[in-house]
Chains A and B, each alone.
Chain A
Amino acid sequence: MKSLFRINIRTSLIAMLLIVMPALVAKAQDSRIQMGVLDHLAAKASQTVDVNVDERLMKLASKVFSDQDADEKEVKKMVAGLKGIYVKSFEFDVDGQYATADVESIRSQLRGPGWTRLVNVTSRKEGNLEVYLLFNGEQVGGLAVLHTDDRELTVVNIVGPVDLDKLAKLEGQFGVPEMGIEQEKPKTKNDEK
């Protein structure tokens, strides 16, 4: 009777782990940023852009782009594996329309486990650019870009395996704004001389 009780407990524990583990793994891999906190800025903004290319649309995109056309093949390759592209961008006619707390609501999510800020990235556009990558182990699981200016706040979130080259190619497509992102090349010994 006692052993039967132990088996029951063990079975329950295994069952619980089976239920909880996938949820924990999914949580660790989730690079989707919650941007809804910024929605209130639309009332003050002179221009608001909200792009939601979710997993369903990404799957559609990978199906509808042709392998025959060279351009479409390139785009298809670019979006392969991506699970979503989300953009929120606000432009204001006067300075100071968004608060530090608004930016902090995004940054605080990017301080979570797995997120790393890239320091060698700049923008040809004016303002402050922050680029973050989410690492799941050694693999990149997502990317976030935060661009702030006195009169602009833009957040781009790409879910899935993505790198800066891919991001640069996505600029101007799928609703991703032109951010003029450039990655500084690491200095070689010859450069230092």
Chain B
Amino acid sequence: MKAIAIKIFVAVLVVVFTSANLVHANDDDFKSVVKMIEQFYRVKQVGIPFLAKAGMKVATTAARIRGGEAKRIAEAGSIKLAVFQNQDFDGDFTKFRASLNEALNVTWMPLIQTLSARNEEQVYIFLKNAGDKFNVLVITIEQREATVVQVTLSPKNLALLLKDPEGTGKAITQEATINDQE
């Protein structure tokens, strides 16, 4: 009787832990980061109706970085983008950085983090495996605007990012948010 009770207890524990891990794995970190920015800085994101167009722009970035033929850097349809414009991002960036790292460090690998008090700019780049490809999360916060970009990269384009994380990360964000009129 005691043995059965122990087995049931172990089975319940396994179910509880497994489901907890599944919930964690299914968490949408992109949305969490957007929400974190909204709550920390008390700002609201702007709707982006042309995500596909942003994807095309990212492709041209890759071509420019490589200095040659046009080649997409982000995998087709993989771009998630959130933009914050004309809002104040006042707050202790060291505290924001600590919260961000705490939230993402379990599932994402922090690649590079640049904080510039001089230019009031923060750039964070995180990476994680996505099967045989890689997810990249680039968070850029400036004085009056911020962007969160998540893309999927092929191993070949990951090489580009690893070689020059800061330059490639910034270029991805700039191109993903570029205005067609510019």
Contacts and interface: CB of A to CB of B under 8 A. Distances in A.
Interface of A: 39, 42-43, 45-54, 56-57, 60-61, 63-66, 72, 75, 93, 173-175
Contacts of A173: 163-164
Nearest to B117: A46
A57 B163 contact: no
A42 B97 CA distance: 10
Contacts of A61: 159, 162
Interface residues of B, number: 25
A88 to B, nearest CB: 10
Interface of B: 92-94, 97, 109-118, 127, 134, 155-156, 158-159, 162-166
Given A66-B156, A75-B163, A173-B164, A45 B117 contact: yes
Of all A-B residue pairs in the complex, the 10 with the closest CB atoms, nearest first, are A46-B118, A64-B155, A48-B115, A50-B113, A64-B159, A64-B158, A47-B116, A51-B112, A46-B117, A52-B110
Given A49-B112, A52-B110, A43 B94 contact: yes
Contacts of B158: 60, 64
Contacts of A46: 116-118
B118 A50 contact: no
B168 to A, nearest CB: 11
B107 to A, nearest CB: 12
Contact of A53 (B113, B134, B162): B162
